[in-house]
Amino acid sequence: MRRLAALLLLVVTLTSGAPAVATELRIMVFDPTSLPEAWSKLNDLARRFEAAHPGVTVKLLTEGGGVDPLTKLRILLAAGQPLDIAILDVLELSSFLEDGLLLDLDPWLENDPAWNEDDYFPVILDAFRGQDGHLYGLPSTFTPYVFYVNETLLAEVGLEKPGPGWTWDDLVAMARRCTRTTERGRVWGLSITQWLQALAPWIWQNGGSLLDPERGVATADSEDTIGAIHFLTRLFHDEKLAATDATFQSQLTRGEFQDGNVAFYGPVGYWEVYRFKEIRDFAWDVCPLPRGKEAATSIALRSYVGMARTEHPELTAEFLRILAGEEMSRTLARIGNGVPGHIAAARSEDFLKPHVPPESEQVFLDAVEYARFLPVHASWREIEHLVQKELQDCLVLGKIDAETACRSIQRKVNAFLQREREERERPLASLLLTVGGPLLAAALLLAGFLLLRGRRPSLLARSEERAAHALLILWGAGFLILTLGPMLVSLALSLTVYTSTTPLASARWAGLDNYARLLSDEDFWQALRVTTTFTLLSVPLSLALALLLSLLLHRGSTVLRTLFHVPSIMSLVALGILFRWILGTDPVEGFLGRKWIEAEEWIVPGFVLMSLWTVGGPMLVFLAGLQGIDPVLYEAARLDGASRVRQLVHVTLPQLGPVILFNLIMGVINAFQTFAQPYVMTGGGPGNASLFYVLYLYKTAFRFQDMGYACTLGWVLLGLLLLLTLVLLGRARGRVHYEGEAP
């Protein structure tokens, strides 16, 4: 009887647990702040979809929030959040396919009468086919890379916008004519963009390539590839025809082209039209890239994808078809988001926009003929990050020549590909290690503490101890569950290779290899160097400033006190935004001779300067310390005839000893964890000149999903800070005196 009841109960729970809730489609495709018009259209489509499918609700999520959309998507998926539709860059396709995250659309589209393959450019549609030939995404917008030209500047030197078939030699000749100093200032022939997708066309045009996906090796050291990079260094450094303003970070700021100082800007995609539509001072248009040995350009493409985990594949596929349909495509074309993959929309006036610059939208459509995608590879983002430093050192800074850069890229990329292959072959690490080990260790620590804490107290003291236990329970539980436990798990994970989109059980055993990897990881040493330099400059300077301010403000007005503390209550995000802008202004540029963001040796000093603005915290602690000094001491000093300076040296500073030590240690710890400022302001650039330690760790963990190595980095940081603190405490022993202690 009882068993029957239990069985009944089970059945009831199981059935009630089945999705009796209304069907919900969750979609994350556009950010409302960056594309408000598309957001409205999306809402419109969603409401109409709901009306056509009673019982279905469509929920729109935003990409926003500081992370790049892809990191956000990765975090959502890693978190196991329900999600049905997202937008995906073609560069990410193979990595998502490899992780089995995408929905195969073929079975659902076949039965959808409104679906027609021929509505789309075949090259663009095929880009989202897997190796099985099935379709995993429907195109949103794409863009081939082209040049933007300032027609007014060309006309000034008697030139005209080049047409199809123009060559590298034509480019050099025209750039030479345009590069000169006018009464407005320096005018450049070129401004050349420098991320991987933008550099690839030069390499392809010269007959080179970056890597051979078939054999899984880099081909960056081939003669043709080196030749292409060499051609660019010639433009930048030998002939000085190219401005160096078009690094990836500076896309966020106003560039030389917008200011009318550059004749040709690119290779770059359609998205710049949106920015450049504000231009009033000169006439501009687009033109195809010049050809080298052959014609070539890259394509950027974003497609709508369904998630394999969706519970409603049919609805998902149908809504995808609507998203990629003519109506949405025309909206995107109208607002200048890119070239629609939908042919009818691309040929409509919504895209071609007669009488609105650029006049030659057709250039984008023509370029599709010879445009290529980067070779399909799972880890483009890692590779891009790896080679970024070499490219910037070579092109922006001119520190190394093309051949050195290419050989270094070749070596790094091959080492990366090799490591990736090896990681796949590593054995799985069992949960016993990653969870069991830490649990056991925590239990041992707890048991050790309980055993070693001394003898059972007397009856009276026992009630006091019980009260203490009750009062400490919240702290203790939190310490065990949220601090000690995670620390130990993190230690275990630092011995593995682990990607967070997968369950913990899929971590692979790596032993001490992650720690060995540190030794040869140039970025790790660079991050350490940047962070140490920053700490060595920023901590002593801010402490000295804080001390000076507190001495001046002691017994001074609270108004001033507030004023000096206010910058410290501002969020680091807002502060970063503000300083990115201040350090990017003309007077700073005039002083440095170039933009702060490009001046490698001024990057860290810039952050130090910013840190001097936020000394409010230590200042308050110093003020509190000053308040605590017994006035009798000063009295005595004065009676002894000590001057103010001597009072400062012999009374104030020794008395402040513990406070100085506290501020020093906390200052070092905080400086080592600098994250928000470089994240908002530079993203680590130029090169890796502002790659702060925690920023590198964040990128490793959440961008590259290399969680195991990120845990290694975390533990190394912990070890370093521990060591530093002990050293500081050790040095302070005997020098810092505490109140009530015999000197």
Partner 1 sequence: MRKLWIRLLLLALAAVYLIPFLFLVTSSLAPEGTALERPLSLPGSPRWSNYAEALEKLGAFDEESPLRGFLRLLFNTTLLTLLSILFQLITCSMAGYAFARLRFRGKGLLFVVVLATLMLPMPVTVIPQFVLYRELGWIDTFLPLLAPCLLGGSPFFIFLFRQFFLTIPRDLVEAARLDGCGWTGVFLRVFVPLSTPVAAAVAIFTFLSVWNEIWLPLIYLSSPEKGTLTLALAGFSRSYRVNIELLMAASTVALLPCLLVYAVFQRKFLQGIQLSAGKG
CA angle 61, 66, 72 (to 5 degrees): 50
Write the CA distances from 734 to 647, 661, 699, 740, integer angstroms.
Answer: 21, 12, 42, 14
Stretch that binds partner 1, among 58-66, 301-309, 324-332, 529-537 (CB under 8 A): 58-66
The residue written with tokens 């499918």 in the block is: 53
CA distance 324 to 114: 12
Paired sense of beta strands 185-192 and 242-243, if any = parallel
Which of 504, 648 has the CB closer to partner 1?
504
436 near partner 1, rule: CB under 8 A: no
Contact 375, 176 (CB under 8 A): no
Out of 10, 36, 418, 638, name the contact with partner 1 by CB under 8 A.
Answer: 36
User: For residue 571, what are the contacts with CB-CB under 8 A and spacing of at least 6?
Assistant: none
Out of 418, 463, 506, 643, name the contact with partner 1 by CB under 8 A.
Answer: 463
21 near partner 1, rule: CB under 8 A: no
In the complex, least distance from residue 204 CB atom to partner 1, rounded to whole angstroms: 26
Stretch that binds partner 1, among 181-189, 235-243, 384-392, 466-474 (CB under 8 A): 466-474
8 near partner 1, rule: CB under 8 A: no
715 near partner 1, rule: CB under 8 A: yes
The residue written with tokens 């995808």 in the block is: 320
Dig out the tokens for 729 from the structure. Answer: 């405490």
475 near partner 1, rule: CB under 8 A: yes
> Crossing angle, helix 380-391 and helix 402-425, to 10 degrees?
150
74 near partner 1, rule: CB under 8 A: no
Stretch that binds partner 1, among 115-123, 148-156, 562-570, 600-608 (CB under 8 A): 562-570
Site map 657..696 versus partner 1, x via CB under 8 A:
-xx-----xx--x--xx-xx---x-------------x--
Out of 562, 638, 723, 729, name the contact with partner 1 by CB under 8 A.
Answer: 562
CA distance 571 to 629: 33
CA distance 292 to 202: 8
Which of 228, 701 has the CB closer to partner 1?
701
Strands (E) across 402-545 are located at: 496-497, 508-509
Out of 39, 416, 509, 515, name the contact with partner 1 by CB under 8 A.
Answer: 39
In the complex, least distance from residue 3 CB atom to partner 1, rounded to whole angstroms: 31
729 near partner 1, rule: CB under 8 A: no
Which of 227, 667 has the CB closer to partner 1?
667
- Please, which of residues 614-653 interact with partner 1 by CB under 8 A? 620-621, 623-625, 627-628
CA distance 594 to 243: 11
113 near partner 1, rule: CB under 8 A: no
Site map 521..550 versus partner 1, x via CB under 8 A:
----------------------------x-
Which of 137, 438 has the CB closer to partner 1?
438
Which of 215, 453 has the CB closer to partner 1?
453
705 near partner 1, rule: CB under 8 A: no
Stretch that binds partner 1, among 48-56, 342-350, 517-525, 698-706 (CB under 8 A): 698-706
In the complex, least distance from residue 601 CB atom to partner 1, rounded to whole angstroms: 23
502 near partner 1, rule: CB under 8 A: no
714 near partner 1, rule: CB under 8 A: yes
Out of 135, 394, 698, 699, name the contact with partner 1 by CB under 8 A.
Answer: 698
Letter for the amino acid at 454? G
- Please, which of residues 383-422 interact with partner 1 by CB under 8 A? none
Rg (CA), the chain: 31
Contact 405, 390 (CB under 8 A): yes
Residue 138's DSSP bridge partners are 304
Out of 172, 299, 493, 510, name the contact with partner 1 by CB under 8 A.
Answer: 493
Length of the chain measured in residues: 743
556 near partner 1, rule: CB under 8 A: yes
Which of 195, 675 has the CB closer to partner 1?
675
DSSP 503-539: -GGG-EE-TTHHHHHHHH-HHHHHHHHHHHHHHHHHH
Which of 159, 648 has the CB closer to partner 1?
648
Which of 203, 711 has the CB closer to partner 1?
711
- Please, which of residues 310-339 interact with partner 1 by CB under 8 A? none
User: For residue 146, what are the contacts with CB-CB under 8 A and spacing of at least 6?
Assistant: 266, 267, 268, 269, 270, 286, 287, 288, 289, 297, 363, 364, 367
| Pairs from 659-665 (Cβ < 8 Å, separation ≥ 24) | 659/621, 659/622, 659/624, 659/625, 660/543, 660/547, 660/736, 661/728, 661/729, 661/732, 661/736, 662/621, 663/543, 663/546, 663/618, 663/621, 663/622, 664/539, 664/543, 664/728, 665/725, 665/728, 665/729
Out of 24, 50, 75, 260, name the contact with partner 1 by CB under 8 A.
Answer: 75
485 near partner 1, rule: CB under 8 A: yes
Which of 173, 723 has the CB closer to partner 1?
723
In the complex, least distance from residue 80 CB atom to partner 1, rounded to whole angstroms: 5
Contact 549, 663 (CB under 8 A): no
Out of 8, 472, 516, 544, name the contact with partner 1 by CB under 8 A.
Answer: 472
Letter for the amino acid at 617? G
Which of 431, 649 has the CB closer to partner 1?
431
- Please, which of residues 271-300 interact with partner 1 by CB under 8 A? 271, 274-275, 278
In the complex, least distance from residue 51 CB atom to partner 1, rounded to whole angstroms: 16
Which of 226, 328 has the CB closer to partner 1?
328
Site map 577..616 versus partner 1, x via CB under 8 A:
xxx-xx--xx--------------------------x---
Phi and psi (nearest 5°) for 695? -65, -45
Contact 62, 50 (CB under 8 A): no
In this structure, what DSSP letter does residue 150 have?
A: E
Q: Count of residues binding partner 1 (CB under 8 A)?
A: 125
In the complex, least distance from residue 185 CB atom to partner 1, rounded to whole angstroms: 15
Site map 227..266 versus partner 1, x via CB under 8 A:
------------------------xx-x------------
Out of 376, 570, 633, 648, name the contact with partner 1 by CB under 8 A.
Answer: 570
User: For residue 360, what are the contacts with CB-CB under 8 A and spacing of at least 6?
Assistant: 285, 286, 287
Contact 686, 607 (CB under 8 A): no
515 near partner 1, rule: CB under 8 A: no
Out of 16, 131, 181, 558, name the contact with partner 1 by CB under 8 A.
Answer: 558
Which of 432, 471 has the CB closer to partner 1?
471
- Smallest CA-to-CA distance from 507 within 570, 430, 452 is with 430
In the complex, least distance from residue 481 CB atom to partner 1, rounded to whole angstroms: 6
Strands (E) across 594-731 are located at: none
- Smallest CA-to-CA distance from 63 within 76, 75, 72, 53 is with 72
In the complex, least distance from residue 584 CB atom to partner 1, rounded to whole angstroms: 9
Out of 8, 415, 447, 560, name the contact with partner 1 by CB under 8 A.
Answer: 560
Q: How many CB atoms lie within 10 A of CB 577?
A: 13
